[in-house]
Amino acid sequence: MSADPIPLEEVLVTEREQWEDGPPHELFARMRGQCPVHWTPRITEYPEEAGFWSVTTADDVHAVSHDWRTYSSERGGVTALTNAIMPLELIRAMFIGMDPPKHDRLKALFQRGFTPKRIAEHEDEIRAITRRVLDRLEGREICDLVTDVAQPVVSRVIGSFMGIPPSDDEIWARLMNTTLGAGDPDLNPEGVETVMKRDVPEIFERCGRLIAERRERPTDDLTSVLVHAEIDGERLEEHEIVMGFFLLVAAGNDSTKATYASGMRALIEHPDQLRLLVDDPSLIPSAVEESLRMFPAFAHFRRTATRDTELGGQTIREGEKVVMWYVSSNRDESRYDDPDRFDVTRNPDHQAFGAGGRHFCLGTALARLELRILFEETLARFPLIEAAGRPEYAESPFINQLKTLPVRLRP
Ligand code: HEM
């Protein structure tokens, strides 16, 4: 008989042991049922960080996302940790860490380039990148879908949007893995202290060079948009340009890679679902949405209360952290039948890109296109793909991703 679970009032949601093998889905199901807005008093690994409220149901995540006046992105940052890995000042230099009106003005500079129509113009180019990467697997029996397929594809796609030379893709991928996966011993072997000591200075130095080039010779990439942006007649400061660049490269790199790998793993573990897609590739867009729902690339984003308020029967005080758990809200049994079942025909709505509101993901059209192409090309070439070892999760309550997914290709 299994031991009684820890009472919810004693549970510390972000503790490392909860996340060793991916998100603690059973814990979140208990929270949704018994204590949907839940208080974690401390983060043991970072004693200087305050505790936080967890928001676990889809309705409450929706409510928080849509009320930026009560739940600020600027006041305390956007992840459960305020300052422990990167100082708040740098988080606030990205528009994901700003409130309106500055947030809206900066985001608007990019929105025109990210509409489904504009993004669709990149389909041929993204397919060519994907095919080139898959060509390199020719003759190999085993590969790692994270490092051999997903990483080089997403790096080149976002790299081409940003004006990064292809020869630098691996460097930027490393920098994103060490900063976003700071707590994981494989993604960042030297520990969280190195992020501010080594990685952030390297990001500033490398991006500084790109910025200087764009100042001299404007191009049509997104780095140039940042360099020449004017908000109320003023140019962005250097650190705002660098962090704007970081936001786009980080969001573009990590998330699509994560969803592809988790979706492929689910297909490999559910051969009936894999067969459905191989036989009828028109189901792939639905499978993409189901992968986004079940495996949201970011486990959470966070807000800070700007006033005392009520949510889910709890009183939240001004200044307290409010963490929206998309890994939970996307399996909310009041919205989904049998929420833990992976069903490629479900074509669900979900909150993987956020629940709407001001900070709704800028890159949804790009992510959906990349994921569709990645699934289409992988399955067309390797319809009999199967597992060849144990997939491993990055140890993180923020990035919800596999760091390795070994497969046997069997063309
Ligand atoms: C599977 C892929 C992706 C997922 C799951 C994802 C998820 C998210 C989430 C959850 C948010 C925050 C929403 C909120 O706080 O309400 C977000 C914001 C953002 N995403 Fe994505 N994203 C993905 C791909 C991309 C791509 C490819 C880009 C392209 C550059 C991108 C750019 C951004 C930006 C710039 C923001 C900040 C938006 C704002 O603050 O207004 N994302 N994304």
pLDDT in tens, 313-341: 999 999 999 999 999 999 999 999 999 99
3-state per-residue secondary structure call for the chain: CCCCCCCHHHCCCCCHHHHECECCHHHHHHHHHHCCEEEEEECCCCCCCEEEEEECCHHHHHHHHHCCCCEECCCCCCCCCCCCCCCHHHHCCCHHHCCCCHHHHHHHHHHHHHCHHHHHCCHHHHHHHHHHHHHCCCCCCEEEHHHHHHHHHHHHHHHHHHCCCHHHHHHHHHHHHHHHCCCCCCCCCCCCHHHHHHHHHHHHHHHHHHHHHHHHCCCCCHHHHHHHCEECCEECCHHHHHHHHHHHHHHHHHHHHHHHHHHHHHHHHCHHHHHHHHHCHHHHHHHHHHHHHHCCCECEEEEEECCCEEECCEEECCCCEEEEEHHHHCCCCCCCCCCCCCCCCCCCCCCCCCCCCCCCCCCHHHHHHHHHHHHHHHHHHCCCCEECCCCEECCCCCECCEEECEEECCC
- Which pLDDT score, from 0 to 100, does residue 1 have? 44
From 221, 304, 353, the mutation candidate for ligand 1 (largest count of ligand atoms within 8 A of CB) is 353
pLDDT in tens, 258-304: 999 999 999 999 999 999 999 999 999 999 999 999 999 999 999 99
Handedness of CA 175, 178, 181, 185 (dihedral sign): positive
pLDDT of 3 > 70? The answer is no
Residue at token pair 């992510």? 367
pLDDT of 102 > 80? The answer is yes
pLDDT in tens, 210-262: 999 999 999 999 999 999 999 889 999 999 999 999 999 999 888 999 999 99
Evaluate if pTM is beyond 0.75.
Answer: yes
Nearest atom in ligand 1 to 96's CA: 40
Residue at token pair 């970011």? 298
State the average pLDDT over residues 1-19.
Answer: 87
Nearest atom in ligand 1 to 98's CA: 40
Measured in Å, residue 18 CA sits from the centre of ligand 1 at 25
Q: Is 228 exposed, middle or buried (0-12, 13-18, 19+ CB in 10 A)?
A: middle
Ligand 1: residues whose CB is within 6 Å? Answer: 65, 95-96, 107, 247-248, 251-252, 255-256, 259, 292, 296-298, 301, 352-354, 357, 359-363, 366-367
State the average pLDDT over residues 36-49.
Answer: 97
Cβ pair 58, 81 in contact under 8 A: no
Residue nearest to atom 11 of ligand 1 (CA): 361
Q: Domains, the chain, ranges and CATH?
A: 8-408 (1.10.630.10)
- Which pLDDT score, from 0 to 100, does residue 112 have? 86
Residue nearest to atom 6 of ligand 1 (CA): 353
From 255, 259, 358, the mutation candidate for ligand 1 (largest count of ligand atoms within 8 A of CB) is 255
Nearest atom in ligand 1 to 297's CA: 5
Nearest atom in ligand 1 to 298's CA: 10
Mean pLDDT of the chain: 96
Share of the chain above pLDDT 70, in %: 99
